[in-house]
């Protein structure tokens, strides 16, 4: 029996439950979890962000980049991404067994996003029902969906963002827009669409924001039967009782990103699953260290704390004596064109004495102090860039034109491809970026997970449909 007022929707020609598995990139969602979610009658989502592919024996093919140039490594990355995406969709479709639906998820800001999406759909459009896409402004999403005859579900974090996309692109392909995903920028895991006008420290109630989105959709003539998918902070349907069957909001569906991580079919390593059970409220940090330039939410592991500390060991400088920059920095740098405030020189000397002997320039006319080993890792990771983003602040890579952002590489950030591949394939969670939504602390509180219980995806979907 399903929770109050929750009824199946027709999607891709068949009835499915309006519960969607969130697509988590770089192998945190794969065919096993998404296929099982569809088999349970929902909408499973294969991540098409650097998905794994397999050799003849069924082992994961390591994604290695031995080419000399970033451009060549980027081309290799795109090949890996297309091959992996195709393989994951085919396997998910097989597991689904004709039930539910399979979507694929891409980040518009990933390197070669359009080429990857087109490459996957050219081989799998008959198996894929829809494409969810966010992390940027994916204007070309509707055209790609039309070309391959699949539905599209744009991910937005405000009515304003949807309005811009609709006017410029989506209004030309309205029939294939199956839903609009509202991703709460304060609560969702991974990359968030927080705008410069919004305060990261002041979360806003999602209800009025979603109501504004629906009002905008109505104004553009979009039927109330086109669902808005609430994503970010969704744990139990009982928490959203007032949203379901609410004429003010129209049709509503719900996306679950964090809960599917802790299932039997979830591909993440056991260490990551175990860590999810111990989180407390506040353990997930909304931060801006990502090389995408977007805010994102992740667990405050040792890795994330080291990035926080690195940025705190930072002082501004001028190339000439000016204003309060009246003394020359005499630790961590070579040359005399680093003028700083006297108080900042004292701080720098203290960091230097504590072992943070290397000063690295940032694009914002500051220097950060790091240990020699940390400096070596940063430089090594920057040199090994494989172009996984359309624009990367960490390495100054850009995936088109002259292949550079034209800005100094930023040592306050990190190689996101490296850390996400590492955590997904078994490296220690404390030493990597561990994406999670802000409701992840509920694993510890929810009796469903007591005594170390890990549900199958089918058991989780059945639990969700009761409202719990």
| Per-residue pLDDT reduced to its tens digit, 267-281 | 999 999 999 999 999
Could you give the percent of the chain with pLDDT greater than 90? 84
Q: How confident is the model at residue 193 (pLDDT cuts 50, 70, 90)?
A: confident
**Rounded to whole angstroms, what are the CA distances from 103 to 22, 258, 333, 458?**
10, 17, 51, 18
**Chain segment 432-441, per-residue pLDDT in tens:** 999 999 999 9
**Listed residue (384, 418, 389) closest to 403, CA to CA:** 389
C-alpha of 215 from chain center: 27
pLDDT (0 to 100) of residue 413: 97
**Which of 167, 181, 192 shows the shortest CA–CA distance to 109?**
192
Instruction: Please give the C-alpha separations between residue 180 and each of 57, 101, 122, 154, 155, in angstroms, as whole numbers.
Output: 40, 17, 24, 5, 6
Per DSSP, the residues of 224-277 read TTS-EEEESS---GGGGTTTTT-TTT-SEEEEESSGGGSSSS--S-HHHHHHHT
Structure tokens at 406: 């034209």
pLDDT tens by residue, 243-254: 999 999 999 999
The pLDDT of residue 130: 96
Helix (H) or strand (E) holding 312: helix 302-312
φ and ψ of 58, to 5 deg: 85, 10
What's residue 62's pLDDT? 86
- How many CA atoms lie less than 13 Å away from 366 in the CB half-sphere? 15
Query: Residue 342: helix, strand or coil by DSSP?
Result: helix
Contact call for residues 351 and 337 (beta carbons, < 8 A): no
At the fourth CATH level, which superfamily is domain 9-268+442-465? Aldolase class I (3.20.20.70)
- The band of 3, judged by pLDDT with boundaries at 50, 70 and 90, is confident
Mean pLDDT of the chain: 94
Alpha carbons 83 and 423: distance in angstroms, whole number: 21
Residues in the chain: 468
Distant-in-sequence, close-in-space partners of 160: CB < 8 Å, separation ≥ 6: none
The residue behind tokens 């900042």 is 344
User: 234 pLDDT exceeds 90?
Assistant: yes
Euclidean distance between CA atoms 321 and 178, whole angstroms: 59
**What pLDDT, on a 0 to 100 scale, did the predictor assign at position 4?**
74
Averaged over 279-301, what is the pLDDT?
94
Residue 242: CB atoms within 10 A of its CB come to 10
Tens of pLDDT, residues 348-400: 999 999 999 999 999 999 999 999 999 999 999 999 999 999 999 999 999 99
Backbone φ/ψ region at 24: left (φ over 0), alpha (ψ -120 to 50), beta: beta
- Reading the block at residue 418, the tokens are 């490296």
Per-domain residue ranges for the chain? 9-268+442-465, 295-431
Note the pTM of the prediction, 2 decimals.
Answer: 0.94
pLDDT at 136: 76
Q: In the numeric block, which tokens belong to residue 18?
A: 């309006």
Confidence of residue 138 (pLDDT cuts 50, 70, 90): confident
Percent of the chain with pLDDT over 70: 100
Please give the pLDDT value at position 113.
92
The mean per-residue pLDDT over the stretch 153-173 comes to 92
Instruction: Find the mean pLDDT for residues 98-125.
Output: 94
Which are the contacts of 78, defined by CB distance < 8 A and separation ≥ 6? 111, 112, 115, 116, 119
Packing angle of the helix pair 113-124, 141-148 (nearest 10 deg): 20
Mean local confidence (pLDDT), 324-339: 93
Q: Could you give the CA distance from residue 361 to residue 142 in angstroms, rounded to a whole number?
A: 41
Q: How far apart are CA 40 and CA 27, in angstroms?
A: 21
Of the pLDDT bands very low, low, confident and very high (cuts 50, 70, 90), residue 2 is: low
**In this structure, what is the dihedral angle of CA atoms 40, 11, 257, 411, given to the nearest 10 degrees?**
140
């Amino acid at each position: 029996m399903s929770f109050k007022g929750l009824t199946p929707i027709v999607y891709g020609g068949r009835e499915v439950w309006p519960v969607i598995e969130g697509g988590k990139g770089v192998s945190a969602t794969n065919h096993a979890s998404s296929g099982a979610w569809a088999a349970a009658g929902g909408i499973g989502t294969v991540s098409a962000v650097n998905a794994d592919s397999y050799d003849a024996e069924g082992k994961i093919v390591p994604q290695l980049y031995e080419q000399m140039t970033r451009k060549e490594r980027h081309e290799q990355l795109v090949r890996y991404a297309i091959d992996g995406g195709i393989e994951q969709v085919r396997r998910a479709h097989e597991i689904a067994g004709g039930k539910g639906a399979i979507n694929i998820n891409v980040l518009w800001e990933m390197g070669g996003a359009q080429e990857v999406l087109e490459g996957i759909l050219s081989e799998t459009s008959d198996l894929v029902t829809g494409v969810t896409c966010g992390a940027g402004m994916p204007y070309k999403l509707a055209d790609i969906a039309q070309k391959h005859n699949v539905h599209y579900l744009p991910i937005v974090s405000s009515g304003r963002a949807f309005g811009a996309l609709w006017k410029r692109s989506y209004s030309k392909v309205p029939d294939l827009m199956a839903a609009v995903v509202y991703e709460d920028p304060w609560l969702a895991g991974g990359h968030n669409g927080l705008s410069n006008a919004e305060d990261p420290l002041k979360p806003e109630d999602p209800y009025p924001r979603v109501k504004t989105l629906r009002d905008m959709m109505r104004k553009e003539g979009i039927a109330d039967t086109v669902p808005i998918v609430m994503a970010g902070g969704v744990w139990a349907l009982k928490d959203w009782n007032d949203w379901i069957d609410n004429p003010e909001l129209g049709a509503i569906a719900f996306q679950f990103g964090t809960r599917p991580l802790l299932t039997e079919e979830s591909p993440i390593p056991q260490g990551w699953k175990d860590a999810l059970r111990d989180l407390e409220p506040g353990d997930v940090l909304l931060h801006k260290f990502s090389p995408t330039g977007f805010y994102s939410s992740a667990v405050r592991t040792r890795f994330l704390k080291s990035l926080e500390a690195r940025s705190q060991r930072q002082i501004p400088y001028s190339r000439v004596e000016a204003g309060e920059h009246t003394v020359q920095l005499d630790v961590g740098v070579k040359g005399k064109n680093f003028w700083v405030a006297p108080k900042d020189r004292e701080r720098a000397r203290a960091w230097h004495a504590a072992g943070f002997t290397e000063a690295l320039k940032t694009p914002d006319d500051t220097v950060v102090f790091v240990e020699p080993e940390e400096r070596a890792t940063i430089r090594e990771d920057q040199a090994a860039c494989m172009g996984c983003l359309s624009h990367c602040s960490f390495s100054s890579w850009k995936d088109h034109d002259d292949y550079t952002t034209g800005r100094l590489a930023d040592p306050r950030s990190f190689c996101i491809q490296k850390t996400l591949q590492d955590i997904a394939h078994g490296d220690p969670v404390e030493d990597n970026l561990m994406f999670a939504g802000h409701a992840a602390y509920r694993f510890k509180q929810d009796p469903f997970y007591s005594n170390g219980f890990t549900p199958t995806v089918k058991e989780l979907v059945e639990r969700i449909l009761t409202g719990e």
